[in-house]
Structure 1
Amino acid sequence: MDTRSQSPEPAGPKPIRRLQESLINRIAAGEIIHRPASALKELIENSLDAGATSIRVTVKDGGMKLLQIQDNGSGIRVRDWVKIRNAANVFSQTSDLPILAERFTTSKISTFSDLSQLATYGFRGEALASVSHVAHLTVMTKTKSDTCAWKACYEDGALIPAKPGLTPDPKPCAGNDGTTIIVEDLFHNTPTRLSALRSSSEEYARILDVMTKYAIHNSSVSFVCKKAGSPSSDLATPSGSTTQQAIRLLYGHSVAKELIHVTVSSSQSQDKDKEAEAMDVDDERELEKDDPEAWSAEAYVSNASYQAKKTVLLLFINNRLVDSARIKRSVEATYSSILPKGSSPYIYLSLRVDPRSVDVNVHPTKREVHFLNEEKIIERICDAIQAALSGGGRSRVLEYQTTLTGGIMGPAKESKGKEKAKDLPEPDKEQNEEEGEHPATSSAVGTSEKKKVYSHHKVRTSTQDRTLDSMFPVLSPAQAPETPNRNTQAASGSTQPIRQAIKLREIKQSECYLTSVQELRKEVEKARHKNLTEILEKNIFVGIVDVKRCLSLIQHSTRLYLVNHDAFAQDLFYQLGLRQFGNLGRFKLSPPPSFKAMVKLAVDTEETSKSRFSKEQIVEMIVNTVIERREMLQEYFSLGISGDGLVEYLPLLLRGYTPNLDKLPSFLMRLGPQVDWTSEKKCFETFLRELALFYVPGPLIIESTDGDPDEEKAERWQVEHVLFPSLRRYLRPPKTLLDQDIVQVANLPDLYRVFERC
């Protein structure tokens, strides 16, 4: 039987159909809006195009339930619609609100030639349209000339009634100048896309990442991001900041202090001097605006001392946040010969290219751009970074990229060819006990023998051995005159360290029955890192490496660690304030300064031109806020402010340690805006954090100018003889200190292996 005769006949060609408009729009929306963070990026760019100086974002469930963006920009035009509506009771298509969420409606371009001279973020008019097709979109807007705000709701690009039974026309409402966009139930009509999203916490982290990058590039704009219902924000930057200040605020002091500023442009040759390299980028653009191949770049890059596990690259081309694998590989190759293996740099790069030389319409989300002479520009930028790294005048900190978890205190492993020794001298016996080695009992002889400890496993445990300061015998001005034979020791070059005997008083934990304080104390214990605690408790202070950068060396077992004692001190003083809550000591200020005068002194140094309040109003608000609570501050924190506004005494966290009183005006000023006065627990925590920041060694912001040498000597003495002994005794170090504030720079067994090969 022939089976081929029963096979089905081939089907004919399927007809080509025109897709429904709603399906087309939903497919297009999926190309623009991938997740809540991508929707936020588009909306932030709209706010920046509107000239906003303040952008506030509120998020619920990682942006899937609620994503609200409020700005103080120019707003959306509705006046034409109002006039015609009142006159003829008809809907006007000349207004912006009715077509706001339709596809390809924009105020940025009108002809195709405009694409070659783009100076704005958006231009295609697809952001709000895409959002309206995958979420419930609400817009509230008000221009400066309007008497009230207007509210409109959208779905699938068209106006819809806010409630059943109402007309879809925009409705008047109360509101501030600017625009507020509310995105609710994102991807409610695309369940596949919704199920592909990560957890709400991970999506929220992506939102914070996007806002962090835009806040650094737009440092003059104030950014705030918080979760819905939360009293405090997770990201907040002031307006009028510089790029370096924004990096310090968002990425931390450990990153900001290691940055190098690099500028390069097409007009600079490779051998120009530093003055040409420091030329202002705006001036260069003004000179080069007639050259279509002109370009300029500004970068903040980490130096050779900064090391991280993952490269952080913030790349902006013509103010657009973009990705470029080629630029990332090139910059990483520049650092490959400088950083140890496994370490990565931090790079913020802003590249400005003539709009006629760049194509921004190559990716639906504008994540990638193409521009002329890409290879040549990248090469010049990398050469400038290389020159800055080699001529920065900073020495590199060589370190091992090892973790501090597991096996830190265990006895050193022996080599395969280990040898037994006879009875060791008395010091070596003590050394074995320090290493945790115990005698092995011999059943044949009945005597115990010690295992031999090789030189590369011996640990210096005597605190009388030499420190870095003892190698340069300079008397500290803070030392007491009764220090025995200190002049004789300095003159003879004794190997014994010159130090004053300080006996720290026991700091007992106060009894407190406030639930909020008990919870804060439990959080400190819960966050405690066991191995890092062990390192601090049994460390030997070696010396201060750099006072301004707050770097010190400590030894633990056979390892040498470089620590940021500023970060450790901040946690220490916070915990000391929490430990003595309600029973803090005090030190008197004589004569007592005026609280208002101190606050005014600090506010005068701040940039407040973008604020809607004058400096006098800001001072009054801060003074009133703190004075109203002076009784509580006196009872709980020993901060004494008299009825006539004089600061009579300050809290004393650690006897024998005096904070830098130059930071007093800044400390008093920050009590107003930085302390959360609305919640008891948050109030106690934020006040103690500010108090700890006041107590940390050194200035609040490190300046390049040299300070008073006597003050530096006194600070060195306090760090060695008061701060580090207190760290050993009282600090419960959290795991967060492991990230950038302590690194292992040497290990004795590894050093022996290195030198054995030489």
Structure 2
Amino acid sequence: MDDRSEGVIEPLPIRRLQESLINRIAAGEIIHRPASALKELLENCLDAGATSIRVTVKDGGLKLLQIQDNGCGIRRADLPILAERFTTSKLSTFSDLTRITTYGFRGEALASMSHVAHLSVVTKTKTETCAWKAHYLDGVLVAPKPGQTVEPKPCAGNDGTTIIIEDLFYNTPTRLSALRSPSEEYARILDVITKYAVHNPKVAFAGSPLPDLSTSSSSETSHAIRLLYGHSIAKDLLHSTFSSKKQDEAMEEESEVDDRESWKAEAHFTNANYQSKKMIFLLFINHRLVESSRMKRALEAVYSGVLPKGASPFIYLSLQINPRDVDVNVHPTKKEVHFLNEDGITDQISDTLQQALASQSHSRVFEYQTLLTGGIAEPEQSISKKRKGKERARDGDEDEDMENAETKTAASPPLKKTASQYKVRTSLQDRTLESMFPVINPTQIEGSSSGKGKPADISKSREIKESECYLTSVKTLRQNAIKGKHKQLTEILEKHTFVGIVDLNKCLSLIQHSTKLYLVNHGALAEELFYQLGLRQFGCFSRMKLQPPPPLRTLIEIAVELEETTAESGLTKPQIVDRIVETLVARREMLSEYFSFNITPTGLLESLPLLLRDYTPNLDKLPGLLMRLGPQVDWNSEKECFETFLRELAYFYVPGPLCSANPETEDQEAQDKAEKWQIQHVVFPALRRYVVAPKTLLDRDVVQIASLPDLYKVFERC
């Protein structure tokens, strides 16, 4: 008879779990999905002082998750215990937790990854002569192949660390089957990188294949938000900084605020004009990405009286509190923290945001709908019979006069009438936007085709043919450009009519296609154009000679001297100049052969590649180009080297001044006039002829602002 039926349960013996089982259970608490693994790795990169982070993802991070940084690296002597649990360089005693300022401190992330994936590390410090590669499994070093030793192997590599996670959750099929599709895991990874990129605008983020995310290392928080979340949020963004300390000097003299209770915050948040179905809330406490349901509810309550029901805002909040007041050791993945006076800080932040919103406006601004690129106008057959009847009634008198004046034969077919809202009113002979403004003492612009000042047309210039190239890397880059083609946007650029430049400094212009008007970022379009022209002419560039040839070192010194963040690299400015000069001079033969980028053995810059005839880039940007060619070009891989070099060259060719100049001077007016001429008569015709437009331009660089049929609908109601 069963013992349970008699009400007697025998106690089971207590056993000590195996170490491997303990570690795998702990790994499940830290690494929930690829995005949580990436978050841990990103924080390690930032702790290492990285200024450039590159992420590679395959199959949503399940097949491959790789992150490369240019931080301080890991010492060779520390590699044997790198993936063991509770090994860290961040703290040594429990009291260190009260003043922790780094992201990580427990030393469990890499250990957890080694228990649920195949982990390998490539690292190099600035003092070592080579990089070291090590492989880990279940927290210990393993041999990369059978028969080899487990010791780290010397290899080539840059300063910094590359962490490679392969086959995540290969030994935990239940966790693997519980995950979503690779596309959803990719979206979570992109969300994590985006949030850290917003909070760290001085760090350059890039990825492969992550075309949705690419930031430079010299942007501001507001620029990063515009770049990563789009113009719709950025145009309605407000900025505010506040703290617990009193700003009035008299009050500060009477009573000082206790440092233990001091805090400061910075917020970027949308005004009453922006509304979304889902709230976007980025919260960083002491630079750590965390969640706080208490604070989120309080900020939602602030907007509840401003936005309509169901609408939500965008809020980025960075809160800095004395580390002694924060307990970071309350969650395995550190996504939550506890801190003193949480309710008081939350209330003060909510009040400040509410005051900022109230000071903007007492009502929302309703705008006419702005659409992304819509493509070709609808055919006449799609118009309803009712709308056709309205058109006939409105244009009836005009049609009768036209019919009486025309002579028709019985055999001629009846002409189909085109409704007014679908008539395309463009002509190459029409006046542009600039021609409608009077100019006092207009001067002849160099490059005109005649003495009367008639502008030259690039269509009459020499055809730029694609060079013959047998390098697999270049063929792949050309194929990638073709694969990324957005058919509709490419057709718009091929058949557009230039309307005019709206803002030269902001790189905004108007173009018309069919019955639609578009506002475009001609700087972004030009950058893509010059990149594709560089690919098109690879190995067969014309030369733009520099007479006399300037010293390479002098130009780089000018650019480095203007940089403010060089201290983060750990090198002095003369050392940075030396390293960039050595890099370029050592590769001068390759630069000359492939790019017509000629540097003499003594370090003189003789010529630059000429990407587009009749177009001269702003040579004031040359020092910046030479400086970026050192750290921004991946010199270790052929394909990445060619791609990054051409991207930097395209950025150098983008029209626009080096910085905002005084528009009132005569020299500046002449420069602006020449710049506008090049944009209208050289860049836009070249866009029409050569560019294969990628879909990424639709995100923020090409916006439809008017449609003739839609305007007719608006005015019919009047």
TM (norm. structure 2) is: 0.74
Counterpart residue number, 1:87: none
Q: In the alignment, which of 556, 574, 581 is matched to residue 623 of structure 1?
A: 581
Q: 2:224 aligns with which of 243, 247, 250?
A: 247
Shift of 1:404: 3.4
Between the aligned partners of 1:100 and 1:171, the Cα distance in structure 2 is: 15
TM-superposition CA deviations, 1:577-621 (whole Å, max 9, x none): 333344433333333322232222222223322334443343333
Letter in 2 for 1:747: S
Structure 1 or 2, whichever has the larger Rg, is 1
Q: Equivalent residue for 1:649? A: 607
Aligned counterpart in structure 2 of residue 660 of structure 1, from 593, 608, 618: 618
Deviation by residue 1:634-689 (Cα, 9 ceiling, x = unmatched): 44433344454333333322233221111111123333333344444444433332
**1:318 maps to what in 2?**
286
Q: How does 1:497-508 map to 2 (within 5 A)?
A: 500-502=455-457, 504=459, 505-508=461-464
SS at match of 2:94: coil
Given that 1:58 and 1:69 are in contact with CA atoms closer than 8 Å, whether structure 2 keeps it comes out as yes
User: Does 1:265 find its partner at 2:224?
Assistant: no
Query: Which residue of the other structure, out of 174, 190, 197, is the alignment partner of 1:192?
Result: 174
Q: Is the 8 A contact 1:105 1:126 kept in 2?
A: no
Check 1:407–1:559 CA distance in 2 against 1; reply closer, same or farther (3 A cut): closer
Q: Distance in 1 between matches of 2:529 and 2:309?
A: 33
Relative distance call for 1:608 and 1:656 in structure 2 (3 A) is same
Matching of residue 402 in structure 1 with residue 371 in structure 2: yes
The answer on 1:217 being equivalent to 2:199 is yes
Distance 1:131 1:554 in 2: 52
CA distance in structure 2 between the aligned counterparts of 1:337 and 1:471, rounded to whole angstroms: 46
Q: Is the 8 A contact 2:90 2:102 kept in 1?
A: no
Equivalent position of 2:445 in the other structure: 479
Partner of 2:36: 38
Which residue among 373, 382, 385 is the counterpart of 2:344? 373
1:476-501 Cα offsets, whole Å, 9 max, x none, are 65636989999xxxxxxxxxxx9735
Identity %: 51
Q: Which amino acid aligns with 1:38?
A: S
C-alpha distance in structure 1 between counterparts of 2:625 and 2:541, whole Å:
18
Mark the runs of 5 or more structure 1 residues left unpaired by the alignment. Answer: 1-7, 80-95, 165-169, 276-282, 430-438, 487-497
1:715 to 656, 675, 679: 675
Aligned residue in 2 for 1:743: 703
Q: Count how many residue pairs are aligned between Structure 1 and Structure 2.
A: 684
What are the superposed Cα offsets for residues 543-569 of structure 1, whole Å, 9 maximum, x if unpaired?
A: 222111111111222211111111111
Q: Report how far residue 237 of structure 1 moved.
A: 6.7
CA contact (8 A) 1:536 1:727 kept: yes
Instruction: Say whether 1:752 aligns with 2:712.
Output: yes
Q: Which residue of 1 aligns with 2:384?
A: 415
Q: Which of 442, 445, 470 matches 1:514?
A: 470
| Matching residue's letter, 1:608 | T
* 1:602 alignment counterpart: 559
1:611 aligned residue: 569
CA contact (8 A) 1:311 1:346 kept: yes
RMSD over aligned CA atoms reads: 5.8
> CA 1:98/1:666 → structure 2, altered by over 3 Å: closer, same or farther?
closer
**Aligned counterpart for 2:263 among listed residues 295, 303, 307:** 295
CA–CA distance in structure 2, aligned partners of residues 412 and 465 of structure 1 = 29
Q: 1:91 maps to what in 2?
A: none
Gaps spanning 5+ residues in structure 2: where? none
Where do 1:525-564 residues align within 5 Å?
Answer: 525-564=482-521
Partner residue in 1 for 2:631: 673
2:347 and 2:205 map into 1 onto residues whose CA distance is 35
Provide the secondary structure at the position in 2 that maps to 1:597: helix
- CA, structure 1 residues 523+221, in 2 after alignment: closer, same or farther (shift >3 Å)? closer
Residue aligned with 2:620, SS: helix
Amino acid at match of 1:746: A
Alignment of 1:458 onto 2:423: yes
Q: Deviations along 1:298-346, whole A, 9 cap, x unmatched?
A: 1345799999998764320232202356766877898999999999976
Q: Which has the higher helix share?
A: 2
**Equivalences for 1:130-149 in 2 at 5 Å?**
130-131=112-113, 134=116
Q: Secondary structure at the match of 1:262?
A: strand
Give the distance between the partners of 1:682 and 1:43, measured in 2 at CA: 23
Q: Secondary structure at the match of 2:371?
A: coil
Which residue of structure 2 aligns with residue 730 of structure 1? 690
1:521 deviates by: 3.3
Q: Match of 2:335, as an amino acid?
A: R
